[in-house]
Chain A
C-alpha cells in the first residue's frame, strides 16, 4: 500500500484527516457535467408522486403555519403507529419528536444525552458526522472494531471490551453507512444484555432500515424486553422516500428524553418546515408500492455493481443493506484518498475514499449505487481504466 501522494491537490490533502471535510472537498470538485456521482447518499430516484401531491395540496390549502416544536401531532401519531407495528417498539406520539433531518436528530440526541467526558461506543468504520455531534456535546468516541470477514456485523465481545467507566452510550447503525452491513437479531440480543449489564443507553440509527437485501432482515433493538427505556431510535424519511432535501427525520425515546430534545430544538432550529412535515405524513401513511419499486431498482443496480467489481477483481464486504459497497481497494496498491482523486480527475467518477469514514481505512472505497444501471456500468468501466493505468506493480 502506498502512502498519500503529495501530488494530490492541497484542497484534499489539508482535509484528509477529517472525514466529513474530505467528502465535501471531493463533492465540490465534482461539478462537471460528465461526472457520475457515486459518493453522497442522496437517492437519485424521484420522490413518489403521492408525496409530492400531498405537499402541493398542503401548500395550496394554506396549511403551512408553524407546527409545535416536536412536530405535527398527526405526523407524530403516524410515526408512532409505524414504529409499533413494523418495529415492535412500545411507543406513542409523546415518545416521538420530528426533526430537521437525521443529522439534527443526532445532534439533539447527543446534546441532551451527554455530559462532557462521556464516551460513546461507535462501530468502526463510521459515518463521521457522528464525530461532530458527539464532540459538540463534549463527548468522545471509543471505537468498536468490526471486520470484513464478518460482513461488518457488530461483535458483542468487542462492544464489551470497549466499555470503560466513562461509557454512556452505544451507537448501533443498522444497516450500516458506510459498510452496508447489518447487525443481526442474534447479535442484538447479546448486545442488549451487555447494555443492560453496564447501564448503557443504546442509540439505534435505523435510517436505512427499508433497504435490506438477499434475505436478511432488519431488527430494532428497542423491541427487546427491557430495552425500550434505554433505547433512542433514530430514523427518517429522507433515504427511504428519496426526499433528502425536505429534511425530515425523527427520534423515538422515553418521554422525558423527548421533552428534553424538544426544549433544545426550540432554540436551535425550531420546528421542522411545515410543508416538509405534510410530505412526510403522506410518506408515512401512503401506499407502499413506490417503496417496493425502489427496492427492485436498487437490487438491479446492486447486481450491476457486483458484476463490475467482480470483473475488476475488487473484493467487497457482503452488502446486506443500505446503498453502499464497502470495497477493498488494497489490490490496486493505491491509497484510497489518492485513488478517489484519480477516479474523479481522470475518470469523472465521484467515489468516497474509506478515509472519509475513519482515517485508517485507506484501503477501502465507499461506492454508492445511487445512479441508474447504465451509469453504474459506465462508471465501473471508467474505474477500470483508471485503476489499470495507475495500479501499483502493473
Chain B
C-alpha cells in the first residue's frame, strides 16, 4: 500500500516531526491486589462502558485521598478518571492553552512537553509576556513560587498541578483564591504500568474538561479502573 495522497495535516506535521516516541517500561508490576481486582472485574462481567467520569468507588477513593493529603475538600464529582496521566495532561493543556500561547513551567517540564508541543503551545520557565500566558504547570519540586502565584491570581491564569508520587506537602488549591483555577493531575502508570489509569481533579470548569476527555475516549477502560481501585485500597 502506498502512502496517502494528501498526507498529514501540515500544521500538525510541523508539530509532531520533532517528537520522539517516549520510552515505555518493558516490565509490568506484580501486585496481587491489582491482579485480583482485574480478575474479579472480568469474572463479574465489568466489560461495559463505565460512567464518563469513571467508576464511583474509584472517584470516591481519589477524592478522599486528595482531601486527606491536602486538607481541603474534594468530592467524587470533582474527579474524572483518565487513560493514564498522559490523557490528563493532554486534555488540560488542550483545553486551557490555545496554540501560540505560553505555558509557564518554572521547574521540570518533561512530563508535559509532548502535550504542549502537540497543542502548539510554547513552554517558558518565566513569564515573558503576560498577555500570552494561558496556564502554569507546577510540580512539588518547584520553589519560590510566591511571585508567580500572585501573577496567577492577578491574571486568573489556570494552574495544572501534578503532585508526583512522593508526598508533596503543598498544593496551590490550598489557597482558596487559587482553588477554582487549579486542576490537579494524577498518574498511576508508575505504579501500575500498562493499565492506563490517571485522573484530573478540581477546577471551576471541571465539567468541560470532562467533556473534552469524553470526546476523546468516552471512558477509561473498565477493568483497569477496578484493578486500580483494588490496588489503591490495598495500599491505603
Q: Given A42-B49, A46-B45, A137-B9, A104 and B222 touching (CB < 8 A)?
A: no
Task: Say which one of B14-22, B56-64, B125-133, B153-161 lies at the interface with A.
Answer: B14-22
- Cβ of A339 < 8 Å from any Cβ of B? no
Contact B22 A266, beta carbon cutoff 8 Å? yes
- The distance in angstroms between the C-alpha atoms of A116 and B9, with both chains bound, is 9
Q: Bits for A253-267, please: 1 = Cβ < 8 Å to B, else 0.
A: 111110010111011
Q: Which residues of A contact B22 (CB under 8 A)?
A: 266-267
Shortest Cβ gap from A382 to chain B (Å) = 23
- The distance in angstroms between the C-alpha atoms of A257 and B6, with both chains bound, is 10
Shortest Cβ gap from B169 to chain A (Å) = 29
Which B residues lie at the A interface, using CB under 8 A? 1-13, 16, 19, 21-22, 24-30, 35, 38-39, 42-43, 45-50, 52, 83-84, 86-87, 90, 94, 114-115, 117-118, 189, 193-196, 211, 214-224, 227
Q: Bits for A43-61, please: 1 = Cβ < 8 Å to B, else 0.
A: 1001100001001100110
- The distance in angstroms between the C-alpha atoms of A168 and B5, with both chains bound, is 11
Q: Given A59-B35, A270-B196, A112 and B9 touching (CB < 8 A)?
A: yes
Contact B28 A267, beta carbon cutoff 8 Å? no
- The distance in angstroms between the C-alpha atoms of A266 and B45, with both chains bound, is 29
Which A residues lie at the B interface, using CB under 8 A? 20-21, 24, 40, 42-43, 46-47, 52, 55-56, 59-60, 62-69, 90-91, 95, 100-101, 103-104, 107, 111-116, 118, 129, 132-133, 136-137, 168, 199, 201, 228-230, 232, 242-247, 253-257, 260, 262-264, 266-276, 279
Q: Which residues of B contact A111 (CB under 8 A)?
A: 9, 12
The residue of chain A having its C-beta at the shortest distance from the C-beta of B9 within the complex is: A115
Contact B223 A246, beta carbon cutoff 8 Å? yes
- The distance in angstroms between the C-alpha atoms of A336 and B52, with both chains bound, is 25
Q: Which 5 A-B pairs have the closest CB atoms?
A: A245-B222, A267-B114, A64-B28, A274-B194, A65-B28
Q: Which residues of A contact B214 (CB under 8 A)?
A: 24
- The distance in angstroms between the C-alpha atoms of A59 and B39, with both chains bound, is 7
Contact A275 B1, beta carbon cutoff 8 Å? no
Contact A56 B39, beta carbon cutoff 8 Å? yes
The residue of chain B having its C-beta at the shortest distance from the C-beta of A242 within the complex is: B47
- The distance in angstroms between the C-alpha atoms of A65 and B25, with both chains bound, is 7
Query: Given contacts A42-B48, A118-B9, could you give 11 more A-B pairs where the C-beta distance is less than 8 Å?
Result: A67-B24, A107-B216, A136-B215, A168-B6, A201-B6, A229-B3, A260-B16, A266-B114, A269-B90, A271-B196, A274-B194
